[in-house]
Structure 1
């Protein structure tokens, strides 16, 4: 019988929070001081590090989370993947792992939709979502280690696994205490090089990440502070109340904006707290900058870049900053696995990416309302950028015009206003709640997007803008492609912007 979990349940009841939320937050808070214990382990003993991570994960699951059900499910998924990767040498092995882990996750998502079930009370789906990313990428990396080098792209060469790890090393990677609950997800080779000190280029030297870690911890503290103080004042479910319907349109619209921003704070809190542990232990180390200073979490072990997201002026910038690990996973282990190098987007690859993203998130109708809205907003954003950018930037010299600051401000405003409206169903979940909230706002964002797209594409709006361009800009603009082909291994344009991340919808921006 766990000792701490019942006490946490009593605290949750006293404060009116769901018990699993209090347990999860407590477990995450414990991981930070645990990071200092990890730093005391001998640098040249990777096996101790693996044992430490597995032991802490077990302790948190049993004593804090009190979640035997989740522990069994996560352990079985990990062990099944290891056995398949070890014994099956077929080229279909990674697809088998993908199918089994996604099916397993789907069953968990379906089970937790029954709010009276044990799955809903424990809700280990978040940890399982992170685990699916790790297990499927591991399986593909093992398979890449058995392929010819000339068949691999640069990313696959970097992360292929040439020698099957021991079960202990694999479980240490799977249950690394700094990220197994909410992420960030990371590659096996990064974990291996972190544990054997290769990542630091010197076997006995680990640069201090204390300042960067405290910075992340501070961001997490600000997020939870805003969530605790303002969250109860602007709850998203107030949008379903009679008082909300009786308010003026502007009051309803801007209330939804504020509530959506505050709803993001819970993601910022848990992600930045977990990220701070990864920095503290050294896992998030990412080389040195030009001045020789260590870099942390840049393009590697991170879930979100808060300021980049909140100040984004376009859907691409916004989505590049959100749920980064999921973006990398979908790009490298779904989309590019179905797209040959140098080829344009294929229907099969796009459909598979969308399906994987949708199943990974779950089956609430609200998710799919956001996905569908994302397709519309991304399409419009591309059209608007192609149409209006020449008014703000000289396309030939790339020099900004006098109107550029206003253009950037408009881009930020439209992006944020739209994303806050479009992602509300992610919090409301059900079809009736999501539809009711959008209807209370007269579907203003969706109708505006449709009307603007029709004007630009079919009613002469684009021609009206072109008449205001210089001849040189018109000539340069003629040579711009309508959309870029999918590159060989570095990015995926439309699919990333529309389908990836916890908020997969892109927003409107010029």
Structure 2
């Protein structure tokens, strides 16, 4: 009965059935959170773990059927590693190797030439959860003085039970699309500690509904405009026949609309976490904060004219995970650039095996490098500083924002089209304008610095 209804719903919405299942599954998190608040908040930890486990398994079965065994295998193996190997570097390396190998094997055996919603989608979220769990368990065996503040917050004092790991892994608020959170946060949720009124369900209905409304707003925007900005249009003769300016504007608008499908899913899922209390982040300046699971800074995302600002506002928890468990743990390399490149390489592989991911993240690194040099030039040049603070800035902002959105969509072409033959066709049609623009900027910035930055006087 459910299958024909879903098919009719997907046809009426003009969306693939797997996408409809995914959105419905994220939305189901709200009634699950309501049941938890109303009936289960004061129940023992075992009851809560079972509720989270079976609700998450039901969502996995609804979306992926029998393929849910992939996640179950990885959760069980992760628990056995913690229990049998202890707090050792071997545990961390074994966890990282096994979980990443399983994910990449899944990518390899299920790969197609387009983006499909399949079991590997939530599995990439689960992979970070389980690898992070191994790191946190390892950190729990160190002296607190040897840990950073972030590591102390996530460190585990004892080995978790299988039921605890399973409840953490399948928690309905984060299983499908994230956000990332630590087992320590999950333990506090189960203990009823994540509330603005200790011992009682949190007063988080209004903050949760605000995020739901915002996420639903972006979902509506994507549903309305998404059909007009399809990835497949890039490969048509019609796109090829359009003038250069049109192709560039299409990339700009396509990039904005395409990102809204991620924004909507993350913001709606964040609302579920807030409703349960997992989003509680203490009190600042006398106000309770509900942003512990925020994966988007929507206002910053919409208004920043900087590429760095967009990155800082987008997929926050995944970026924070990569910073905490990859970038900062590579401190022994003694080179921030090398650590940054290594982190981006990890994120590239974590996303998948297509060449488009490699091009997208390498382009991101190059763009950020050029932008930082340009920011330093504006900061150090009296002329450019005056110009940035002059009445002309609104005009400068409009031009900067146009370039920002255009060249934000530009590397996403490779990210979404995956394969070499497709993204090369699109980039050729716009004469590799993004590559040319940032290469020229990179080459001329040193000369502009010489011309516009006064030399320091030496006494």
TM-score, structure 2 normalization = 0.91
Q: Which residue of 2 aligns with 1:73?
A: 70
Q: Once structures 1 and 2 are overlaid, which stretch shifts more, 196-205 or 363-372?
A: 196-205
Aligned pairs for 1:204-223 (under 5 A) are: 204-223=199-218
Match of 2:311 among 319, 337, 353: 319
Within the alignment, does 1:123 sit opposite 2:121 as a pair?
Answer: no
Q: Aligned pair 1:330/2:325, yes or no?
A: no
Name the counterpart of 1:60: 59
Q: Matches of 1:136 and 1:152 in 2, distance apart?
A: 18
Counterpart-to-counterpart distance in 1, 2:104 and 2:397: 41
- What's the secondary structure of 2:228's corresponding residue? coil
2:156 matched to 1:156?
A: no
Q: Per-residue deviation at 1:389?
A: 2.9
In structure 2, the CA distance between the partners of 1:199 and 1:228, relative to structure 1 (3 Å rule), is: closer
The change in CA–CA distance for 1:287 and 1:18 in structure 2 (over 3 A counts) is same
The SS at the match of 2:214 is helix
1:441 matches 2:436: no
Residue-pair matches, total: 455
Q: Distance in 2 between matches of 1:207 and 1:389?
A: 45
Query: Which residue does the alignment assign to 2:46?
Result: 47
2:452: which partner in 1? 465
Q: Distance in 1 between matches of 2:116 and 2:230?
A: 22
1:357 corresponds in structure 2 to 347
Q: How does 1:75-474 map to 2 (within 5 A)?
A: 75-89=72-86, 90-114=88-112, 123-200=118-195, 203-290=198-285, 292-297=286-291, 300-340=292-332, 343-345=334-336, 347=338, 349-391=339-381, 400=389, 404-457=393-446, 460-466=447-453
Tell me if structure 2 keeps the 8 A contact 1:5–1:66: no
Q: Deviations over 1:410-434 (max 9, x none)?
A: 4433322211222122222221211
RMSD: 2.6
Q: 1:5 to 1:31 in 2, by over 3 A?
A: farther
Do the aligned residues in 2 keep the contact of 1:12 with 1:18 (CA within 8 Å)? yes
Deviation at 1:17, TM superposition (A): 3.6
Q: 1:303, 1:325 within 8 Å by CA — same for their partners in 2?
A: yes
In 1, are the aligned partners of 2:19 and 2:117 still within 8 Å (CA)?
no
Q: Deviation string for 1:132-173 (max 9, x for gaps)? A: 111011111111111222322221112110012222222111
Unaligned runs of 5+ in 1: 468-473, 479-510
Partner in structure 2 of residue 488 of structure 1 = none
Change (3 A) 1:412 1:114: closer
Distance 2:116 2:219 in 1: 22
Measure how far apart 1:6 and its partner are.
5.6
Listed one character per residue, the Cα deviations across residues 359-394 of structure 1 (whole Å, up to 9, x for unaligned) are 110012211121221222122111111112345799
- Distance in 2 between residues matched to 1:115 and 1:236, nearest whole Å: 12
Structure 2 contact 248–406 (Cα < 8 Å) conserved: no
- 3-state SS of the aligned residue for 1:420? helix
The 3-state SS of whatever aligns with 2:281 is strand
1:244 Cα deviation after fit: 1.3
Question: Relative to structure 1, is the Cα distance of residues 192 and 394 closer, same or farther in structure 2, using a 3 angstrom cutoff?
Answer: farther
Between the aligned partners of 1:106 and 1:42, the Cα distance in structure 2 is 37
Residues 166 and 144 (structure 1 numbering): CA distance in 2 closer, same or farther, change over 3 Å?
A: same
CA distance 1:439–1:198, shift in 2 (3 Å): same
Paired with 2:332 and 2:362, the residues of 1 have a C-alpha distance of: 27
Q: Distance in 1 between matches of 2:225 and 2:406?
A: 19
Tell me which residue corresponds to 1:36: 34
Is the alpha carbon distance of 1:339 and 1:258 closer, same or farther for their aligned partners in structure 2, counting shifts above 3 Å?
A: same
Write the distance in 2 (CA, Å) between the matches of 1:122 and 1:448: 34
Separation in 1, partners of 2:376, 2:187: 44
C-alpha distance in structure 1 between counterparts of 2:193 and 2:430, whole Å: 55
Q: Distance in 2 between matches of 1:224 and 1:346?
A: 37
Task: Determine if contact 2:356/2:417 at 8 Å carries over to the other structure.
Answer: yes
Assess if the C-alpha contact under 8 Å between 2:56 and 2:172 holds in 1: yes
Return closer, same or farther for 1:394/1:114 CA change in 2, 3 Å cut-off: closer
Cα distance in 1 for residues equivalent to 2:289 and 2:382: 34
The separation in 1 between residues aligned to 2:80 and 2:342, in whole angstroms, is 26
Displacement of 1:15: 5.7
The structure where helix makes up a greater share of residues is: 2
Partner of 1:503: none
Secondary structure at the aligned position of 1:204 is classed as: coil
